[in-house]
Amino acid sequence: MRKAIFFDRDGVLNDNETHVNQPKDLILYDGVKEGLRKAYEAGYDLFVVTNQGGIELGHLTDEDLKKIHTHLEEEVKDYCHFKEIMYCPYFKTDSEDRKPRPGMILKLADKYDIDLKKSWMVGDRDTDITAGLEAGCRTAKIGRVDPRAQINEANLSDRNKKRKVDLEAVVKEILKEC
């Protein structure tokens, strides 16, 4: 079995102050590419699991989102490879895939033979942490502390405080824990 890191997208990889409805809206935080490379080189399979209820709400289409994710893959291609970028398009419709429910993580784990006990969910909302815990992953929280998470970005002493989000420091901490 393989080990994986599941990343939330908005607020973890890219700035989410405005909605990301087209490729040019997706701006990666500083240090994200380097953090992803560290995780990839350490042998983790990398996934993105993202709620994109804006599709059901009509803010963007599946095709728009695919273009955004092609752009994301292009942006990071010299650093890492995402095994799959999975999204939940629902907002109003009940779905086991919409975080805080763990459906996306469980499906990817099954598809790619992932050992969830050795894997991590990284997110900026408590719903990400809930989904990770429900799936049986370890969890890392970006931003405000969540006491349920093993790693909290806000508590990391080597965090680069000039960065809005220091994913690189979080990945370093994940690699230390293993």
Catalytic residues: 8, 10
Nearer to Mg ion, 15 or 118 (CB): 15
- 8 appears as a binding residue in the annotation: yes
What would the DSSP string read from start to end of 82-133? EEEEEEE--SSS--TTSTTS-HHHHHHHHHHTB-GGG-EEEESSHHHHHHHH
Nearer to Mg ion, 11 or 89 (CB): 11
Min separation Cβ 9 and Mg ion, Å: 7
- 126 appears as a binding residue in the annotation: no
Nearer to Mg ion, 21 or 118 (CB): 21
Residue nearest to Mg ion (CB): 11
Min separation Cβ 100 and Mg ion, Å: 12
Nearest-angstrom CA–CA distance, 170 and 15: 17
Min separation Cβ 51 and Mg ion, Å: 8
Q: Which residues contact Mg ion (rule: CB under 5 A)?
A: 8, 10-11, 124
Provide the b/e sequence for 107-123 (b: ≥16 CB within 10 Å): bbbeeeebebeebbbbb
H or E stretch at 5: strand 4-7
The HSE-up count of residue 58 (CA atoms within 13 Å, CB side) is 0
- 146 appears as a binding residue in the annotation: no
- 88 appears as a binding residue in the annotation: yes
What is the number of residues in the chain? 178
Binding positions are 8, 10, 88, 124
Binding positions for Mg(2+) are 8, 10, 124
Binding positions for Zn(2+) are 88
